[in-house]
Structure 1
Amino acid sequence: MPHLSVIVYGPNAQGRLNELLGSLESHPLAGTEVIVAAVGDWARETAEGHAPETVVVPLPEGTGDAAARAAGAAHASGRWLHFVHAKDGLPAGAPRLIAERIAELEDTGATGTDGAAFDVLLLDHVTTTWRTSAAPSRDGRFLAAVGRDALTLNQGANLLRIAPLLGNRVLRADFWRAHEQLLDTDDEPRAAHAALLHADRVACLNQVAYDNRVLRPESLPPLAPEDRLALIDRYESLLPLARDRRAVHTVLYDLMVRDLVRTFAREDMPDPVAREFFRRASLAAVRWRPEGHQRPPGLEGVRHSLLEEGAYSKYRAFQAANRTRRAARKAVRTRKRQVSAKVRDHQYRRALSRPVDPNLAVFAAYWERGVSCNPAAVAAKLAELAPHIHRVWVVNKENAALLPPGTDHVVPGTRRYWETLATARYLVNNVNFPNAMVKRPDAIHLQTHHGTPLKRMGLDQMEHPAAAKGLDFAALLARIDKWDYSVSANSHSTRMWERAYPARYTSLDYGYPRNDVYYTATAADVRAARERLGIAPGRTAVLYAPTHRDYEAGFTPRLDLAALADRLGENTVLLVRAHYFYGGAASPLTGLRRSGRIIDVSTYDPVEELCLAADALVTDYSSIMFDYANLDRPIVVYADDWETYRTTRGVYFDLMAEHPGQVARTQEELTEVFLSGAWRDESAAKARAAFRRRFCEYDDGRAAERVVRRVFLGEPEEALPPVLPIEERTPAPTPEEATA
């Protein structure tokens, strides 16, 4: 029996079906069947082009979504059903992610005290419109907050706030059959909410496994008056299901009032329809209001009050007054910005008329966050080799208080900031300075970058809109045209920078200055780093440092840290460089934090010190792996969503084939890598050696010196310290060596 049935249903809207089925074919998964409930000839012909792997259920033109879903489910033999509309998409490997999460839950006995299995698995998703591609949802924080276990909707009422799509929930087949009549509706949001309200228990997969494609409204038939009123009917049918569950009732009621108010405000309804909508919405808001319910504060509360009052004329007057108020405020803000911009431009132009100061250097890193990364290493070496050059850091107001004592700095937007940018001879950054910065002919712009590229960068992001997120490529090109030098750690980076950032700069194949410490640090430095972190002698410290996902609304945990720490034992300390949704006295991590077995190092700087303290690194696709490889210590790649990441973000090489040690695709695999000793076995060392040869090519401990001598002191290339062959380099001592 197949484990999972993917049921594709509906007409071939705007020709999307072939793309969807092609994606499923290119990433087949054993134990998964694909059934297409094809509505109309075009959908049938398209689906038949993918047979026999795909089971085709032909349906007549005009068959509704509910009937199509039912027809597809009738042919399904899987224990779990994933309904996917023919207009939508599935990220590469989505069925595998779903199947593995279900297996994990079933293997760990994801049932409640009453023994009930979970009925619904909720997924994260992205949204593609006619204007944007794969925009992340806001559901990640709700999915992450639930944790790894199944729970009742009473325990996780906020899960009702997840986008009401059938595609972002997978249903147990027996559950579907038991409630099919209750879920039989062409109103997808109603069916999606009803599935949660009827489920005994739900679980979550906080990874993207669905692409909701929103069709342009102008390409669809116009809405009839009764279509708008159907929104009220939807909630009137759902709220009785939550009547005896206070938390669920409250969340569902809040969703109803929010949707009613937004629909009334945003939909251009004829006045008779608007009045009837408002009247019925008002009755529903009063009828279903939970006892003791508090309205939200501010203007939203006023809107709710007027709706419950049924005050149509007052509400319209309130809307008009708000529009007038917003327009007036916008005009005032626009005028202030215009005046400020004129003053700034005048000051900047005056500063640009002054001579360039040959002994002034401006440094910035990570969008003005502070002294860090390659710019910090260059500045430190500059102080040693050319102390006559004055160093000024650009730091935002929030981080200025965290600067090392005596650091000269300017705050972005201030008069001194623009004057400093205008007159500095040297401009150093690991990202980019603002578009408004003028690059003077006798100024030197040094771009240090802040990592070796696995993911696509610069112009290469044009093919991956989820990563680009509206990036202005013309402005990007204008910024890179200001570069004079680009620092590189390896020839891979050099080639990728020249491709992603095509301009006339000179590539400095000198290594990353921030990585010098991995060859200059002593045993005492390693011991001191571990002492500052509170790592007891003899314990194995594992640094876990995942990267950001462009397709997620925010950071969501990918590992159950409590379970991992429990399996690895008391002798292992996890250094976690990420913000987890674990908190409160009931958190399973609380005791582990107190015992020092889990240490939150999310805000710890510098990151190089964390690397020196760690016996091993666990990461996914973060560039920290390329830097850590300099230490020649074990690296484990935890790639639970590689296919999704590779598709949405784009990558320059296959990390699964060219990895720096061991690779784990599930938490169980990751745990086994450490328990079996594979994390530091011969095969891991062999893979790490090949990785180091390729990506630590120029890092030998003297990168900052080469940069300073070439860029600031003007020494010729042949006079610079040559790069040591990798076999002649000696990395900093391991923690074990440092305590020997």
Structure 2
Amino acid sequence: MPQLSVIVYGPNTQGHLTELLDSLDAHPLADAEVIVAAVGDWARETAGSHSPETIVVPLPDGTGDAAARAAGAARASGRWLHFVHAKDGLPAGAPRLIVERTAELDAMDTPGALAGPGAPDAPGAPVDVLLFDHVSTTWQTTAAPSGDGRLLAAVGRAGLPLDRSASLLRTAPLLGNRALRAAFWRAHEEEFTTDDEPYAACAALLRAGRVACLNQVAHEKRVLRPESLPPLAPEDRLALIDRYESLLALTEDRRAARTVLYDLMVRDLVRTFARENLPDPVAREFFHRASLAAVRWRPEGHQRPAGLEGVRHSLLEEGAYTRYRAFQAANRTRRAARKALRSRKRQVSVKVRDHQYRRALSRPVDPHLAVFTAYWDRGVACNPAAIAAKLAELAPHIRRVWVVSKENAALLPPGTDHVIPGTRRYWETLAGAKYLTNNVNFPGAVVKRPDTIHLQTHHGTPLKRMGLDQMDHPAAAQGLDFAALLARIDRWDYSVSANSHSTRMWERAYPARYTSLDHGYPRNDVFYTATAADVRAARARLGIAPGRTAVLYAPTHRDYEAGFTPRLDLAALADRLGENTVLLVRAHYFYGGAASPLTGLRRSGRIIDVSSYDPVEELCLAADALVTDYSSIMFDYANLDRPIVVYADDWETYRTTRGVYFDLMAEHPGKVAHSQEELTEIFLTGAWRDESAAKARAAFRRRFCEYDDGRAAERVVRRVFLGEPEEALPPVLPPEERTPAPTPEEATA
């Protein structure tokens, strides 16, 4: 008996079934079976062309989702069932996460415990439902976080009766974000077999003996464009009232669950009434029936929310349709007035700012003032940070001021002089500074004064197409204003480069009259100046036990994805690589505000989420090897002359959508893996550090670490801030004469 049956059901809607089955084929599990309840010939043919182990249950066109789920479940032999619609997706490793968590739950449960309506209060009631997190994909965005993670995390890992974890009713009502114990499903199959999926999802929680959580993403909900689906009739909105009334009927003598469900019902009924443009007769019937439901099911002693929401609830319970419509109209008028007032305030604020900025621009430039910023005002980081540090050493008379966002100001090193974007001091500082240094671009409103110097440091070596070269790649160019970009690059006086490849690409992607500084990337100086003690200290701060091999996994951003979902089954990779290996996992900074799917994935210290760890150079010093896809971190890490493995599972997609400057598959820095199995084998066989990998890395270093030798920051400071001629600068050492920082193994010898 397998631990898990993944039941894929439904028609091959908009062709998404192929992608779903491909992901399952790529990560097969001995303890899981895949059953496809294929609706229609297209779905049947698609399922039949995949893994021969896949069980295909052919169903006629027009079979509803509920009947398809039931047909799939009838063929299932797993202890647990995971229903996944054919339009949805599964992140890499999702079945493994579910298998491991349900096996853990089975081991803890009391043998022979029965599920049933009275089970929530029964001693030894089994865990019948496992809830996990999910991401949502639309026709415009990919992998947006759900918001359920905080609810799952708050409940924790213990299996609890719903009355002790009623907040779980607030999670998205999907069958795809929960696994059901097979015996529990069969005990309630008749009730759960309904085309109203939200009802079935909530009813499963209400009927469960206990509910357990997994605060990790194991499902991808795909929201189809409404215009591509059959339209709903206005009367269909009335089914929402029936759903909630049926669910509330299951909450007798369960106060906590009833309270949460009641609040959800009133919220959803009010929103539907307000936002759906229902014909007046339907709207009146909806409001009348919603009013009756709100009164009928209101828990004893229930308190309405305060403010406008409370007024809405009160009018709904009173059935005051006409007054509610008048209340809506008044609110719209009030919101429009507030919006107009905010707009006028913004216009006044902009005028005041412009006046203050113009006045500041009329004052002389301060020759001893330098402004630094990095990564859209995130803080002290990257090339600007290395330059500022060297400037303090070589030219302490030049005052250094950082631009940092309000939310990141608290993270600055103590004593850092800084300004907050948009403030009066910000504009006055920018207007008066002699030197402006950035690794991206200053806002378009910043004026380039004739006697100021703009230093563009960049923040990586370009593999992907940049600047004007993105024009032919819509996924990369989305939202870019190329005319504004050209205006910003026209302000540059200097552009820092780490190698001649970058110099050529910058001059092509950013055509302007700036001077290229072939001095190396200042942030990479540390790879030649760090000592054995620095390497040991970096590993100690990360909690890497002595003797362990640390592998840094740092993938890049994809323009066709909205959130970070690991492309590797990290838990499986850690298992295969063994106890002696720890994975340092770093999501791209574009996803800094997203809920991390890595939360809770630490296992005996072998997986560490370092997405928020700064500086990244310290992570590189601590790592024995790097695994990346197309991130520019590979060019920096190559300075250390340590093994690099490229994980290129979607190279063709990336190359097509983003565009690249060279073929990484032919000019890679060590080894290349196209699947997780290949990646695992590279490490298990030792190929990651064999002679051929070293040879490829040496060629890569010669080409892309051309100017990095540990003195880049000094050359930049002397050339830009001290005005020394090019011929007076420290010459770049040839690669064969450089000595990188010690490896972790050397540092502990």
Q: Does 1:190 align with 2:191?
A: no
Give the equivalent residue in structure 1 for 2:121.
none
Deviation at 1:513, TM superposition (A): 0.7
Give the equivalent residue in structure 1 for 2:8.
7
Question: 1:194 corresponds to which letter in structure 2?
Answer: A
Distance in 1 of aligned mates of 2:718 and 2:151: 51
- Taking a change above 3 Å as real, the CA distance of residues 194 and 535 of structure 1, as seen in their structure-2 partners, is closer
Distance in 2 of aligned mates of 1:332 and 1:434: 26
Aligned partners of 2:11 and 2:39 also within 8 Å: yes
Aligned partners of 1:446 and 1:483 also within 8 Å: yes
Distance in 2 of aligned mates of 1:648 and 1:173: 43
Distance in 1 of aligned mates of 2:156 and 2:464: 28
One of 12, 25, 28 as aligned partner of 1:28: 25
One of 377, 382, 388 as aligned partner of 1:373: 382
Distance in 1 of aligned mates of 2:155 and 2:554: 18
One of 212, 215, 234 as aligned partner of 2:222: 212
Give the equivalent residue in structure 2 for 1:138.
146
Structure 1's unaligned 5+ residue stretches are none
Give the equivalent residue in structure 1 for 2:159.
151
- Taking a change above 3 Å as real, the CA distance of residues 49 and 326 of structure 1, as seen in their structure-2 partners, is closer
Q: How does 1:294-305 map to 2 (within 5 A)?
A: 294-305=303-314
Distance in 2 of aligned mates of 1:219 and 1:448: 49
What TM-score, normalized to structure 1?
0.75
Aligned partners of 1:142 and 1:159 also within 8 Å: no
Residues 411-445 of structure 1: per-residue CA shift (max 9 Å, x gap): 32233432443354432112221122233466443
Residues 593-621 of structure 1: per-residue CA shift (max 9 Å, x gap): 9xxx9999887755545655x36578766
Distance in 1 of aligned mates of 2:532 and 2:290: 71
Aligned partners of 1:139 and 1:163 also within 8 Å: no
Structure 2's unaligned 5+ residue stretches are 112-125
Count of residue correspondences: 706
Identity %: 62
One of 153, 173, 189 as aligned partner of 1:164: 173
Question: 2:446 corresponds to which letter in structure 1?
Answer: M
Distance in 1 of aligned mates of 2:736 and 2:386: 24
Question: 1:102 corresponds to which letter in structure 2?
Answer: I
Q: Give the stretch that moved more between structures: 370-379 or 235-244.
A: 235-244
- Taking a change above 3 Å as real, the CA distance of residues 274 and 203 of structure 1, as seen in their structure-2 partners, is same
- Taking a change above 3 Å as real, the CA distance of residues 150 and 111 of structure 1, as seen in their structure-2 partners, is farther
One of 85, 95, 98 as aligned partner of 1:99: 95
Deviation at 1:375, TM superposition (A): 0.6
- Taking a change above 3 Å as real, the CA distance of residues 558 and 530 of structure 1, as seen in their structure-2 partners, is same
Q: How does 1:217-228 map to 2 (within 5 A)?
A: 217=227, 220-225=230-235, 227-228=236-237
Give the equivalent residue in structure 2 for 1:38.
39
Distance in 1 of aligned mates of 2:719 and 2:439: 18
Deviation at 1:216, TM superposition (A): 2.6
One of 259, 263, 286 as aligned partner of 1:254: 263
Deviation at 1:341, TM superposition (A): 0.6
Question: 1:66 corresponds to which letter in structure 2?
Answer: A
- Taking a change above 3 Å as real, the CA distance of residues 178 and 635 of structure 1, as seen in their structure-2 partners, is farther
Residues 316-373 of structure 1: per-residue CA shift (max 9 Å, x gap): 3433333233222222211111011112223334444566666543211233343332
- Taking a change above 3 Å as real, the CA distance of residues 540 and 651 of structure 1, as seen in their structure-2 partners, is farther
Distance in 2 of aligned mates of 1:412 and 1:579: 19
- Taking a change above 3 Å as real, the CA distance of residues 349 and 304 of structure 1, as seen in their structure-2 partners, is same
Give the equivalent residue in structure 2 for 1:448.
457
Aligned partners of 2:552 and 2:583 also within 8 Å: no
Counterpart secondary structure, 1:367: coil
Q: How does 1:271-290 map to 2 (within 5 A)?
A: 271-290=280-299
Question: 2:198 corresponds to which letter in structure 1?
Answer: P
Distance in 2 of aligned mates of 1:656 and 1:121: 44
Counterpart secondary structure, 1:206: strand
Aligned partners of 2:489 and 2:510 also within 8 Å: yes
Give the equivalent residue in structure 2 for 1:382.
391
Aligned partners of 1:619 and 1:636 also within 8 Å: yes
What TM-score, normalized to structure 2?
0.74
Deviation at 1:232, TM superposition (A): 0.9
Residues 108-138 of structure 1: per-residue CA shift (max 9 Å, x gap): 5655432557655645122214xx2326132
Deviation at 1:448, TM superposition (A): 1.9
Deviation at 1:407, TM superposition (A): 5.0
Aligned partners of 2:499 and 2:705 also within 8 Å: yes
Residues 242-279 of structure 1: per-residue CA shift (max 9 Å, x gap): 44555544433332222112112111223343333223
Distance in 2 of aligned mates of 1:430 and 1:153: 52
Q: Give the stretch that moved more between structures: 233-242 or 452-461.
A: 452-461
Aligned partners of 1:575 and 1:598 also within 8 Å: yes
Counterpart secondary structure, 2:377: coil
Question: 2:98 corresponds to which letter in structure 1?
Answer: I
- Taking a change above 3 Å as real, the CA distance of residues 498 and 100 of structure 1, as seen in their structure-2 partners, is farther
Counterpart secondary structure, 1:348: helix
